[in-house]
Amino acid sequence: MTLSKFAKISMMVCLALAFVGSSFAVDSHKANFQISQSVQVNGTELAPGDYVAKWTGDGPDVQVSITRNGKEMATVPAKLVQLDRKSAEDASEIRANGSGRELGSLQFAGKKYSLEIGGGSSSTSAAAVK
């Protein structure tokens, strides 16, 4: 193999590794949560049960994918809000809207952030989640 071919192949390998490395540099987060009553998330009805919230980046604006048993149930914009101290337990906030209840926010045990889901509304009630 000639030196120029070797240099070209080496350069292509280095570029490929740099591209792959940069794709892993993005912070990807996920957290489990549970809801105890049916709620709306971005127009989708979520039944009571266990879910996983996944998002990329450190905010404040993030796109959250909500999955159940590996199946994506809803995607919704959210704000990542830094808290003064770590949450003592998992918790979800349910907001009343014109057509029922919607998921308002999520807090995760041991984490110093919460996810404010979608837009705000009037009446709220917090529910601790185990």
pLDDT of residue 16: 60
What's the token pair of residue 11?
Answer: 């350069």
Is 0.85 surpassed by the pTM of this model?
A: no
Query: Per-residue pLDDT tens for 59-87?
Result: 899 999 999 999 999 999 999 999 999 99
- Give the Å distances, CA to CA, from 60 to 18, 31, 93, 114: 27, 17, 19, 11
pLDDT of residue 58: 82
Tell me, what amino acid is at 116?
A: E
Looking at per-residue pLDDT, the higher value among 3 and 97 belongs to: 97
How far is the C-alpha of 113 from the C-alpha of 85, rounded, in Å?
Answer: 8
What's the token pair of residue 19?
Answer: 């591209």
Highest averaged pLDDT of the listed ranges 5-14, 20-29, 104-113: 104-113
What's the token pair of residue 49?
Answer: 């049960």
How far is the C-alpha of 96 from the C-alpha of 124, rounded, in Å?
Answer: 6
Does the pLDDT at position 4 exceed 80? Answer: no
Structural contact between residues 108 and 33, judged by C-beta atoms closer than 8 angstroms: yes
